[in-house]
Amino acid sequence: MNSRSRYVWAYIMIAPTLLGTVLFWTWPAIYSIYLSFLKSENFGMVNHWVGLANYERLFKDKEFWQDLRNTLYYAVLFVPLTLLFSTFFAVLLNAKIRGLSAYRVIFFLPQVTMPAAAAMVWVVLFARDYGLINHLLGTHVAWISDTRFAMFALVIVGVWGAIGFNMLLILAGLQGIPRALYEAAEIDGAVRFRKFRYITMPLLTPTLFFTTVVLMIGATQIFDSIYLLIGKTNVALPAVRSLVYAYYQNSFVYYDQNYGAAIVDILLVINLILTGLQFAFQKKWVFYD
Amino acid sequence: MTNNQRAGHRRSNLIIHTVLIAASIVMIIPFAWMILTSLKTVTEATQIPVIIFPSHPNLSSYAKAFEKSDFAHYYVNTVFTAFMKTVFPVIFSSMAAYAFARIRFPGRTILFFIIISVMMVPNPVFYTPQYLLMSKWGLVNTVTALWICSLVSPFAMFMLRQFFLGISKELEEAAILDGCNPFQTFRYIMLPLVKSALVAIVIIQLLWSWNELQWPLIINSSPDKLTLSSGLATLVSMFSTNYPVLMAGAFMAVIPMIVLFFLFQKRFIEGVAFSAHKG
Amino acid sequence: MLFRKKAWISTTSVAVVAALALAGCGGSKSTNDNTASTSANSQAATTSAGQASDKPKEAVTLTYTIWDQLQQPAMEAIAKEFTAQNPNIKVKVDVIPWGDYWTKMSAAAPAGTLPDVFWMHSGQFVKYASGNFLAPITDKVKAGEIDLNNYEANLGSIYTLGGQNYAIPKDFDTIGLAYNKDLFDKAGIPYPDGTWDYTKLAQAAKQLSQPDKGIYGFAAKMDTQTGYWNDMLANGGFIVSADGSKSGYDDPASIEALKARYQMILDKSSPTHQQMTDTDSTEMFKSGKVAMIFEGDWRTTDIDGSDIIKGKWNWAPLPKGKVKRGNIINGLGNVMSASGKHKAEAWQFLKFLGSKRAAEITAQMGAAIPAFKDTQAAWVKSKPQLNLQVFIDQAADAMPYPAGSKAYPVWFPKEGEIMAQAWGGKISIEEGAKQVAAMMNQAIANNK
């Protein structure tokens, strides 16, 4: 078969994905940037070009900086904690123990639970007066409506939901490490911790790296749990409101799609920076074989 | 192994089990509380001090949640949307992934880059323009709008391409010598080889679709056009702090996926582990 | 070659599937209009329906969207009766809860997917009417198909803009003081009545409260129409100036009223904002944990549905303030979409919604106070054990809902977010009120 007809086949085979991507994803991404330079009236039926006005307003808006701080703060708490717990449980489960598959199933359960439903049940668990958590801990904390605790409540819900999935990713990474390496180390008399430090960690870094990227990107897009766990009239909302929540409010509740587009375009820039940083650092500390 | 070592081994296993069982309980509590609360009365659910078990478990909250919101439609819409958002991306992505992995053609690099570059864009960036597109096509507040933008998946394409790259070329070359065109090679030789990857993609797409909240919340409003996720958000607005009804709704929304998970748990877990391998 | 042939079949089937997928875009308009009629001639048939009654009519399903699930049974009863008279027109009643209603409607409006007929609120009206999303009914009024004089004073005039009529008044609502007779009896305090003022309210609330038992005299909730707006008016303050140019939140009398309400939380006469976030204050009243609460008449059926306080509660008028008795009257209207596919049928239904019969059904089922003249008595009688007359009596000197501008939909959702800060104790009441005022004035300036 000549190569020209192979081209034709290739184009046919990529056509649906390519066209769909350009129409439904690439074009909207570009259009979102365009929208941030407009000011719309009457539900977006009339548009004027206003240049950078939306961004000027954004940079002067204290609320925006607060939302940005919240988003990054959430990511900084959520990502390391998730990694820590996931790695911890993955290492425990990597040992030859009984009931391994039962534990895996239980840890994975939050992953198959709709975040909307999970947020609703956490509201009940976190309630101050009749919540189970305060009851069990003997505390009297307004977890979700006290500015000091709301962020931790969100992180708890986030970590609870993320451990199972990431633990499995890391477990897969662990199981990819050749046993021979450990056996060699045992001959050298390495203790458990040193084995972990000098064999497991370096060989696990590609997996941890991948997991970190995915978690970071997910963390900066937090919305569901703020929308359903915290809610609109919660005094703690400003302390946890994320960029995506602000985007949703501005675009679809305050009828200001252009300001919303500016907010979400900042999120885009953050994501690009994060991805860039990750790949730059990747060369330095990831051991690929 | 000496007796001493064996005892040490047993002791450390005991510690591991204790830790894991404690963690498992923490993981399960929300589900248990969801079910317990849904069987209580409002008064019991907000009683101080907390009571763990309902004194007269009753299903009236389920009836109320079912009666006051359109759960039948939520189920149908969610299942249908998940189906569309799983089957089409898998078909389209695997075709494209194969072409990108194995056929050299002009523009391959740039076209590949165009497709995967959207993976770096956070989802909310797309929503307003997609909403405007749906609006132009008259699709706002329709079931079609729930899935149409997700007929293709750059993510699935990227993953599957990795798998195709990992397969040896020998089989394929034999097929080409036999006179198969690229599509036939793909369909009959290559696709069966990445079956486990396809299963992984199906599971991931299914979960994403099932759990998604923001897009259905934005695009649809009529009760009969909502999904389970956006339907739950409506239930919260409707019943504010009537926790038994909310928990009944939450339980009804999560149970199908959990049953599916228990039936195919090996597939789910292998799927995730498998995708990690090549990611 | 068999192998080839099979491959060819599967290629074509993929192509067919792809074609079907793409056809989803073009052909999906039909999923949109809720009916089976998509053929070209159905358009003609539907436009002439209503006038030409001798022709066989095509079956049409209208969507009627409302925000109050408590009124759903009554609205369905009206729809059923309408369909009995017009067998070709079915009506589907959809409920979108208040908290989501306007977000959803604002997404539907520019997309041309507003429901055929839906509830309109005076606060949102200008935005929708000036955007040409509502079908004007001026011609029908002029043609005498409907008489706006049939409705209680001024209710017909709320929904006019630029000389056009857009809505048929549906109902009106005012605010009352609900009280738990049991808790009053136990504390040996006489029930609230028309003589009460805010000082008396605060005193009684204090006496009724037993914070250690989780029982409170009053729910000083952070709420507008059923909350502090009434206090602000009673104290001589205002919400928006009469010409709509200025916020009244920073008026000293308004701030004083807000502070007085918040003081009840500090005095432990009311649950805290956090408690009321965890449990809706009306739910607390329903479970007998709060002795008094301001609530709208529309919650009557809901409250009376609680087994715990059924037969143990009643309504009283709101207390008098320093200046007057504050109250907010709001009139809802039924409107039809400008882009509806079945406007002729929608008009038939809208007309029926504005009829005396529909008002009677509304009244008898206790759903709301109908706007149609002389049908309110039936509503008062719908629950004879309760003093529903207070809502009718208070209507006379109540303030209309502070709406009727393009700015309202912008400032209203933000108001709640700022006041939540004050009510939650993050900022002072005065600071919160001033922030709301500044935000409102900005919104008014931006939306002239």
Predicted local distance difference test score (pLDDT) of residue B254: 95
Token pair belonging to B32 = 């248990």
| C163 shares a domain with C83 | yes
pLDDT at residue number A208: 84
Domain membership of residue C428 (yes or no) is yes
pLDDT of residue A286: 57
- Full DSSP string of A4-54: HHHHHHHHHHHHHHHHHHIIIIIHHHHHHHHHTTEEEETTTTEEEE-TTHH
**A223 within 8 A of B212, measured Cβ to Cβ:** no
Span A154-167, mean pLDDT? 93
Cβ atoms within 10 Å, residue A271: 18
| Selection from B117, B122, B123, B158 nearest residue B279 by Cα | B158
Nearest CA to C409 among B14, A16, A253, A146?
A253
B98 touches chain A (CB under 8 A): yes
* 8 A C-beta contact, residue C370 and residue C376: yes
- The CB density around residue C120, as the number of other CB atoms within 10 Å, is 24
**Residues B54 and B69 reside in one and the same domain:** no
How does strand C328-336 pair with strand C117-120?
A: antiparallel
Point out the residue among A128, A130, A253 whose CB comes nearest to the CB of C103: A253
Whether C243 is in a domain gets the answer: yes
High-pLDDT (> 90) share of chain B, %: 54
Indicate whether B164 pLDDT > 70.
yes
How far is the C-alpha of A236 from the C-alpha of A227, rounded, in Å? 12
Q: B189 and B54, same structural domain?
A: no
pLDDT digits (tens, 9 = 90+) for C169-228: 999 999 999 999 999 999 999 999 999 999 999 999 999 999 888 899 999 999 999 999
**With an 8 Å Cβ cutoff, are C96 and B233 in contact?**
no
pLDDT bracket for residue C46 (50, 70, 90):
very low
Does residue A22 carry a pLDDT above 70? yes
Handedness of CA A182, A183, A184, A188 (dihedral sign): positive
Residues B80 and B35 in one domain: no
**Residue C242: its pLDDT value, please?**
85
Query: What mean pLDDT do residues A167-179 have?
Result: 83
Mean predicted confidence (pLDDT) in B46-54: 86
CA dist A164 and B30 (Å) reads: 15
Shortest CA distance from B44: residue in chain C = C287
Give the residue on A whose Cα is nearest the Cα of B265.
A105
* pLDDT recorded at residue C244: 85
Query: How many degrees, rounded to 5, is the angle at CA C231 between CA A142 and CA C97?
Result: 60
Q: Which amino acid is at C320?
A: K
3-state helix, strand, coil in chain A (%, to 5): 75, 5, 20
A-contacting chains (≥3 CB pairs under 8 Å) = B, C
What per-residue confidence (pLDDT) applies to C115?
Answer: 95
Give me the number of domains chain C comprises.
2
B167 and B183, same domain (yes or no) = yes
C26 touches chain A (CB under 8 A): no
Q: What is the structure's pLDDT at A57?
A: 93
Confidence check: pLDDT of C236 > 80 = yes
- Clarify whether residues B186 and B249 are in a common domain: yes
Same domain, B247 and B127: yes
Task: Name the closest residue on chain C to residue B142, using Cα atoms.
Answer: C32
- State what percent of residues in chain A have pLDDT above 70: 96
Select the more confidently predicted residue: A206 or B116.
B116
| C244 and C322 belong to one structural domain | yes
Is residue C180, in this structure, part of any structural domain at all?
yes
Mean pLDDT, residues C326-350 taken together: 92
Question: Which is it for the CA torsion A111, A117, A118, A121, positive or negative?
Answer: negative
pLDDT in the model for residue A284: 64
Q: Considering the domain boundaries, does residue C30 fall inside one?
A: no
User: What is the maximal distance between C-alpha atoms in chain C?
Assistant: 98
C211 and C349, same domain (yes or no) = no
Q: What is the pLDDT of residues B107-123, one digit of tens each?
A: 999 999 999 999 889 99
Q: Is C287 on the interface with B (CB under 8 A)?
A: yes
Residue A93 and residue A104: Cα distance in Å, rounded? 8
Subunit contact A261:B128, Cβ cutoff 8 A: yes
Q: Which of residues 266-295 of C touch A (CB under 8 A)?
A: 273-275, 277-278
B32 and B69 both lie in a single domain: no
Confidence band of C90 (pLDDT split at 50, 70, 90): very high
Pairwise CB contact (< 8 Å): A237 & C417: yes
Whole-angstrom CA distances from B65 to B59, B232, C124, C307, C344 are 10, 10, 29, 19, 35
Residue C432 in contact with partner chain A when CB distance is under 8 A: no
The number of angstroms, rounded, from the C-alpha of C405 to the middle of its chain's C-alpha atoms is: 17
Positions of E strands within C13-116? 60-66, 89-95
pLDDT tier at B275, thresholds 50, 70, 90: low
For C80, the domain range is 58-172+330-382
How far is residue C217's CA from residue C284's CA, in Å, rounded to a whole number?
11
Confidence of residue B228 (pLDDT cuts 50, 70, 90): very high
pLDDT of residue B194: 86
Residue A121 has pLDDT above 80, yes or no: yes
pLDDT over 60 at A287, yes or no: no
C45/C338: higher pLDDT: C338
**Of B148, B218, B242, which is closest to C283 when you measure between CB atoms?**
B242
- Cross-chain CB nearest to C280 (options B233, B234, B241): B241
Which chain A residue shows the shortest CA-CA distance from B103?
A10
Show residues of chain C in contact with A241, CB under 8 Å. none
CB contact under 8 A, B234 and C63: no
CB atoms within 10 A of CB C36: 12
Strands (E), C168-325: 168-173, 175-180, 216-218, 290-296, 313-316
Contacts of A236 in chain C (CB under 8 A): 424
- Rounded to the nearest integer, the mean pLDDT of chain B is 88
Torsion (CA) B45, B48, B51, B56 in degrees, nearest 10: -50
| Crossing angle of the two packed helices B108-117 and B71-102, in degrees rounded to 10 | 150
Based on the domain organization, do C234 and C336 belong to the same domain? no
Average per-residue pLDDT for chain A: 87
Is there a single domain that holds both residue C274 and residue C347? no
Spell out which chain B residues touch chain C, with contact meaning CB-CB distance below 8 angstroms: 42-43, 46, 48, 68, 88, 91-92, 95, 131, 134-135, 137-144, 148, 151, 180-181, 183-184, 187-188, 218-219, 221-224, 233-234, 237-238, 240-242
A103, pLDDT greater than 80:
yes
- CA–CA separation, A29 vs C313, rounded Å? 57
Instruction: Count CA atoms within 13 Å of residue B267 on its CB side.
Output: 16
Cα(A16)–Cα(C18) distance, integer angstroms = 8
Task: Establish if A262 touches chain B: CB-CB under 8 angstroms.
Answer: no
Query: Please, what sign has the CA dihedral across residues B124, B125, B130, B136?
Result: positive
Chains in contact with B, where contact means 3 or more Cβ–Cβ distances below 8 Å, are A, C
Phi and psi based region of residue A209 (left: phi greater than 0; alpha: psi -120 to 50; beta: remaining)? alpha
Looking at the structure, do residues C121 and C264 belong to the same domain, yes or no? Answer: no
Instruction: Name the strand (E) or helix (H) holding C333.
Output: strand C328-336
Tell me the C-alpha distance between A277 and A279, whole Å. Answer: 5
**Domain region containing B43:** 3-58
C309 and C249 within one domain: yes
CB B201 within 8 Å of CB B159: yes
Give helix then strand counts, H and E, for chain A.
15, 2
Domain containing residue B149: CATH number: 1.10.3720.10
Within this chain, do residues B225 and B239 fall inside the same structural domain, yes or no?
yes
Judged by CB atoms within 8 Å, which residues 161-220 of B form the interface with A?
176, 179, 181-183, 186, 207, 210-211, 213-214, 218
C342 belongs to a structural domain = yes
DSSP code at position B169: S
Contact status of A158 with chain B (Cβ, < 8 Å):
no
Please, what is the end-to-end C-alpha distance for chain B in angstroms? 40
CATH number at residue C122: 3.40.190.10
In this structure, of A6-15, A193-202, B220-229, the range with the lowest mean pLDDT score is A193-202
- Same structural domain for residues C321 and C441? yes
| Average pLDDT of the residues of chain C | 85
Q: What is the pLDDT of residue A14?
A: 94
B41, B84: one domain:
no
- Looking at the structure, do residues B50 and B72 belong to the same domain, yes or no? no
Residue A231: band (very low, low, confident or very high) from pLDDT cuts 50, 70, 90: confident
How many domains is chain B partitioned into structurally? 2
Please list every residue in chain C whose beta carbon sits closer than 8 Å to the beta carbon of residue A16.
18, 21
In SS3 terms, B207-243 reads as: HHHHHCCHHHHHHCCCHHHCCHHHHHHHHHHHHCCCH
Alpha helices in chain B (DSSP H): 3-38, 42-45, 60-68, 71-102, 108-117, 124-136, 143-147, 154-165, 170-177, 182-184, 195-211, 214-219, 228-239, 243-263, 265-278
Position B241 scores a pLDDT of: 81
User: Residues 13..32 of C with a Cβ closer than 8 Å to B: which?
Assistant: 14, 17-18, 21, 24-25, 28-29, 31-32
What's the pLDDT tens digit per position in A237-265? Answer: 999 999 999 999 999 888 889 999 999 99
Q: Which residues of C148-172 are buried (b: 16+ CB within 10 A; e: fewer)?
A: bebbbeebbebbbeeeebbbbbbbb
On chain C, the residues whose CB falls within 8 A of the CB of A146 are: 274
Q: How many Cβ pairs within 8 Å bridge chains A and B? A: 291
Q: Give mean pLDDT, residues C309-337.
A: 92
DSSP-derived secondary structure letter, C372: B
Mean pLDDT of B62-67: 90
A27 CA to chain B: closest CA distance, Å? Answer: 8
Cα distance from N-terminal residue to C-terminal residue, chain A? 38
Tell whether the model's pLDDT for residue C57 goes beyond 80: no
Q: How far apart are CA A119 and CA C448, in angstroms?
A: 40
Q: Are residues C301 and C367 in the same domain?
A: no
Name the band, by pLDDT with cuts 50, 70 and 90, for residue C42: very low
Which of B211, B240, B270 is most worth mutating to test chain A (most A CB atoms within 10 A of its CB)? B211
CA distance A124 to chain C (A): 8
Asked if residue B145 has pLDDT above 80, the reply is yes
Residue B118 and residue B164 in one domain: yes
Instruction: Tell me the domains of chain A and their CATH numbers.
Output: 3-49 (no CATH), 60-285 (1.10.3720.10)
3-state class (DSSP) for residue A139: coil
Please indicate, yes or no, if residue C421 is contained in any of the structural domains: yes
Q: How far is CA B146 from CA A254, C97, C99, C168, C187, in A?
A: 23, 21, 22, 34, 56
Which stretch, A210-224, B194-208, C432-446, has highest mean pLDDT? C432-446
Predicted pLDDT at B269: 80
Residue C287 shares a structural domain with residue C213: yes
Contact A130/B at CB under 8 A:
yes
C165 and C297 inside one domain: no
The sheet carrying C216-218 orders its strands as: C216-218, C290-296, C175-180, C313-316
pLDDT tens string A42-79: 777 778 899 999 999 999 999 999 999 999 999 999 99
Q: What is the pLDDT of residues C6-31, one digit of tens each?
A: 444 444 444 444 443 333 323 333 33
More confident residue, A279 or A111: A111
CA-CA distance, A105 to A21, in Å (whole number)?
35
Name which of C68, C104, C278, C295 to mutate to probe chain B: the one with the most chain B Cβ atoms within 10 A of its Cβ: C104
Burial of residue C122 (CB within 10 Å: 0-12, 13-18, 19+) is buried
More confident residue, A14 or C275: A14
pLDDT of residue B95: 94
Determine, for residues A231 and C277 on separate chains, whether the beta-carbon distance falls below 8 Å: yes
- Mind listing the pLDDT tens digit for each residue in B236-252? 888 878 899 999 999 99
Asked if the C-beta of C15 comes within 8 angstroms of chain A's C-beta atoms, the answer is no
Interface of B with A in 221-250 (CB under 8 A): 228-230, 232-233, 236, 243, 246-247, 249-250
Q: What is the ipTM, given to two decimal places?
A: 0.89
pLDDT for C111: 86
